[in-house]
Structure 1
Amino acid sequence: MMAKKYRSDALASIHETMEALHDIGAVDKQTMREFDDACLTPVEALTPEDIRALREREHLSQPVFARYLNVSRNLISDWERGTRRPGGPALRLLTIVKKNGIQAIA
């Protein structure tokens, strides 16, 4: 399981406390979902240019970048040309790489 990425260390601490309260039944599931949304790093929409710049910033070829993200080289090419857009887990990984570098998922 991938570690959660928080907006700040303070929110990470507060979130751990909320999870403990949820585990013992003091916080309901809906409140926990709303709290997750407030604390976790937001996923950003990325343009084709952003994705290419990110890959180049990390000094990676399309095939190597694809291996880090567990997708095909053709998909990286499609994202960079704008014929497809990353979503779900791939977009989350791209956001983490953008904020923390490729070593964050290596």
Structure 2
Amino acid sequence: MMVKALSKLTMALLETAEDMRDAGLMGEEGYRKITIRHLGPDAPPTATPITPEEIRSVRERAHLSQAALARYLNLTTGYVSQLERGTKQAKGPALALLNVIRRKGIEALL
């Protein structure tokens, strides 16, 4: 994938945003949104990978069946099963939501 070169203005804005984050004037979440938009694949990762065992643990802690978790995540039951078996890896929005559930519990989605 070809990434467009950043302009001098964009580089200056990113540097300012980094300084603001370091000074505590901007939160990490806001900073990541800026860098992801402009840096593409070079941006810091936004979601921590999650293992099949962690997915099952998250689901069981929430007292959910695979079908119920799939419904909350807008996925198929088969896909949740594949994630728990390790035949597929969560990516994109599914990974982000699983990380939210892992950190804050299923209540964060309700």
TM-score range, shorter chain: 0.5 to 0.7
> Hey, what does 1:73 align to over in structure 2?
77
In 1, Cα distance between the equivalents of 2:59 and 2:65? 7
Q: Which residue of 2 aligns with 1:92?
A: 96
| Corresponding position: 1:43 with 2:47 | yes
How many residue pairs were aligned? 81
Q: Provide structure 2 residue ranges, at least 5 long, that are not aligned to the other structure.
A: 1-23, 38-42
Task: State the Cα distance separating 1:15 from its structure 2 match.
Answer: 3.5
SS in 2 for 1:15: coil
- Is 1:15–2:19 an aligned residue pair? no
How much is the aligned-residue C-alpha RMSD, in angstroms? 3.0
Unaligned runs of 5+ in 1: 1-12, 20-30
Change (3 A) 1:65 1:35: closer
Identical columns (%): 39
User: What is the TM-score normalised by the length of structure 1?
Assistant: 0.64
Q: TM-score, normalising length from structure 2?
A: 0.62
List structure 1 segments (4+ residues) > 3 angstroms apart after TM superposition: 13-16, 35-38
